[in-house]
Structures are given as C-alpha cells and as structure tokens.
Amino acid sequence: MERRDFLKTSAISSAAIASSGLFSFQPGMTNEAPIIPSIKNPLNLYGSLEPVLEGIRANNPMDLTLANWRKKNPKGSYKKWQAAARKCLLDGLHYNPGPLNLAPEVILKEDRDTHTFEKILFNTTPWHRLEAYLLLPKGIKKPVPGIVALHEWGGPMGFGKDRIANGGKDHELLVLHRKEYYEGAYLTEELVNRGYAVIVIDAHHFGNRIPKGINGIPTDFDPFSVSSEEYKHIDAKMRELLYYGVRQLNWAGTTWAGLNYFDDSRCIDYLATRPEVDMNRIGVTGLSGGGWRTNILAALDTRIKASVSVGWMTTGDTQQHYNLSGAVGSFCLLPGVLNRMDIPDLAAMSAPNACMIVVGEEDPLFPEEGKMKAKAEIQSAFDWAGKGDHTSFYSPKTKHNYNRDIQEKAYAWLEKHLKD
C-alpha cells in the first residue's frame, strides 16, 4: 500500500474508532500471552484530531526517502542520496558544539580478573564535562577494535551506564533490570572479554546526568545509597520531568537526539586518543534508546564500521498510528527530518558499513507492519550501495530485550565485520 493510501485509510479508521467511543488510551501492553504488535490494535491516537495529523503526514514531501529520491533521480547514485540524507539529519539535530579539546583525565584505574577498568572524564562541549567507563582487554599486544556501548531508556532512570557496566557498585533494582533485559549479563564485560575496548556513558537525563535540585529530587541524590522503595519515589519524580526536559532542550534550540549524538561521537573522539584502540575497527551497539542512538551514530559518524541496533526500528507512519507514548514520542523528535525521510533511512544511510537491526517479534513498542517494511527498505538501500551482505535484520520470538540469543548474534556480527 502506498504511503498516502495507507494514511488515508488509517485516518478514516482512526476517526471511526474515536467517534465510536470504542478506543481508550492504553499506556502499555499487558504481561499476559504474547501479542504480535500491530497497527490494527493502536495504543494511542489523537481522538477527533487524529485526521488532522494524518492529513499533515500525507502531505509531507518525504523527498529524501530512499524510494522517492530514486524515483525523482533515476540516474542518481547511492552516495548522492546518502550525502543529501546525512545533511538533512545533521541539520535536523539542531546541535553542533563544534570541535574542542577533550582534556581527558583518568580518575580511577582498576585491575580486574579479565580486564582493566578505568573511570574517565572528558569534555563533550566547552560547557560540559562527562564521566565515562572504559574497559580494556588484558595483555594487549596490538591495537584492538573499539565498541561504543549505549544503554537503554526503560528502567530505573537514576542509573545509566551502570545498567550495562560494573562501575564498582550495584543495586537490587539494577540486578532485576539486568536480569529482565540482558538475562543477567553485563553487556560491556561480555564485549571486553571478546577482545574489544569498550566505552560507555550516561545518556542525557540518566545516571549521573539526572536533573537534581528540582521537583523534590535532592541535589546530593545518590541512587546507590537508597533502598528500592525510596528509589522508586524519586524515580517517579525524574519521570515527571521527562517531557519538561525535552521542552527545555527544544526551547534552547536543540534536540535530545542532537545532544546525545554529539556526546556519543565524542566517545569515538576519546577512543582515538588511546593507543590500545584500532580506529579502523570501531563499532556501536545498544538496546531500545541505545538502539535509537546506535542508528543515529552509525548514520552520521563514518568512523563506525559495524553497528548492532536492538529494539528500535519501525516506519514513521505505522508508528504514529500505533504508539507514540513515552520516550518513543519524545526523545526521538527530529523536526525537519521526519517530514522528508523515514526512520529506516537512518539505517539505510550507514552503508557500506555493516548494519544489523534486531527487533523482537513480540516487542510491544513497535508494530509488525513497521518492522517488516523497514527491513525491506534497509535491504534495498544496501543492495543499491552494492553491499547487500552488509546488513542483517533479525526478528526473534521475544519481547523488548537484548537476551543471550540476541547477544550471541550481535557478537558474531561484530566479529565478522571488525575482526575478520
């Protein structure tokens, strides 16, 4: 079905649902029998105003989607489309702090059983200094591949990089979270034990970067020092500030996606300062919000040679009809981008570098229609670029997680494209 026909149909059905009173907002899926998410069962619409949104989307130019651009430019090349798409995306991030001196500093170094752990600080902008963890394999005799590991959004917001890295402290809530999303594994330790140098930071509004001194969140709040019950009370206050934080960034003239892209790219800048790292073999991986950040980083930073995005791929029209609640509808805002290109185009522009996309068949955040359409569009782009074997789309029968099965597939992909 063509985009305009789809939108016209969904607008009519949306209006019918809203006017009939059969639809009520559902904040999330149940924990009962697995459900294959579908636009036939939308999670949120805009009531009687839904047709207005659908009309807007139906009249967007969408001139930089791969298919539309190729129709308009039959003699055009993949590289020309890629250049235009990258410029649009970079402009749409509305953020560029420019080059700077990282002024890196190692503030802690530990010799652990299987690797060396470092806590480091470096500048991401002239006005902000960021803490990161760096894990290095032991016995390095020559530079090794590097991985930027990106944590997910869902879960206890007061913890970011500590969800996937052992910073020396742990918490009952982190243990439970890690069990649900990673089957108990520390993703960064799994990677360093396979011979990668791994760097991980907190995303904006997570971990050490949560807003403090506002909405009842103490200025000296330390999530590791409170009980689970005490933490949940503060976590609710953090979540109340999510949309406030997005609006603050927008009013400052930028986007959450833009701020995080440049932070993530600075991680690669830092890896470039380390003689232990082979800068010709850099990869990135992340779950959920980390998957979204993976898509953006791999699209724009050509130093990324291989990526594994887990739990974040769909198409704009199906997603808008199905579910825009929570982080999906806020942190992923790209003004001036999604009226010209679609979400699969983010992954499509990363060729010729290797791009693996993983979305669970039972993932409640994304409809099956969007996932399958995205799969075809990304494959088409890599085929056009002459690198059809440099993309892979895996949709296992699982929900929103980075379980052991997915981990093994990811490790094999990274091994193939960063070590072979």
pLDDT tens digits, one per residue of 68-121: 999 999 999 999 999 999 999 999 999 999 889 999 999 999 999 999 999 999
Mean pLDDT of 274-297: 98
Q: Are residues 143 and 16 in the same domain?
A: no
Q: Are residues 211 and 254 in the same domain?
A: yes
Q: Are residues 193 and 247 in the same domain?
A: yes
Cα(192)–Cα(137) distance, integer angstroms: 6
pLDDT digits (tens, 9 = 90+) for 306-337: 999 999 999 988 888 787 777 777 788 898 99
Using the predicted structure, report yes or no on whether residue 38 has a pLDDT greater than 80: no
Q: Are residues 351 and 387 in the same domain?
A: yes
Preceding omega of 352 cis (within 30 degrees of 0):
yes
Is 202 a domain residue? yes
14 falls in which pLDDT band (50, 70, 90)? very low
Is 117 a domain residue? yes
Is 232 a domain residue? yes
Q: Are residues 58 and 125 in the same domain?
A: no
Query: What three-state secondary structure class fits 106?
Result: strand
Domain span at 328: 105-418
Structure tokens at 75: 């003699």
Q: Are residues 132 and 262 in the same domain?
A: yes
Cβ atoms within 10 Å, residue 283: 27
- 330: CATH: 3.40.50.1820
Q: Are residues 41 and 160 in the same domain?
A: no
Q: Are residues 130 and 73 in the same domain?
A: no
pLDDT for 50 equals 85
* DSSP for 344-400, written as a single string: HHHHHTTTTSEEEEE--TT-TTS-HHHHHHHHHHHHHHHHHTT-GGGEEEE--S--S
Is 89 a domain residue? no
Q: Are residues 37 and 129 in the same domain?
A: no
- Picking from 62, 78, 94, the residue at the C-terminal end of a domain is 78
Q: Are residues 301 and 398 in the same domain?
A: yes
Higher pLDDT pick, 242 / 330: 242
Q: Are residues 233 and 351 in the same domain?
A: yes
User: Taking all residues of the chain, what is their mean pLDDT, rounded to a whole number?
Assistant: 90
Q: Are residues 41 and 152 in the same domain?
A: no
Mean pLDDT of 168-180: 97
Closest CA to 8 of 74, 75, 56: 56
Amino acid found at 52: V
Cα(38)–Cα(23) distance, integer angstroms: 15
Cβ atoms within 10 Å, residue 26: 13
Query: What three-state secondary structure class fits 234?
Result: helix
pLDDT digits (tens, 9 = 90+) for 119-161: 999 999 999 999 999 999 999 999 999 999 999 999 999 999 9
Is 286 a domain residue? yes
The count of structural domains within the chain is 2
- Answer whether 337's CB lies under 8 Å from 88's CB: yes
Would you give the DSSP letter of residue 148?
A: E
Using the predicted structure, report yes or no on whether residue 225 has a pLDDT greater than 80: yes
Is 83 a domain residue? no
Is 92 a domain residue? no
Is 90 a domain residue? no
The values of phi and psi at residue 409, to 5°, are -65, -40
- 224 to each of 92, 220, 248, 309, 356, how far by Cα in Å? 37, 12, 28, 29, 34
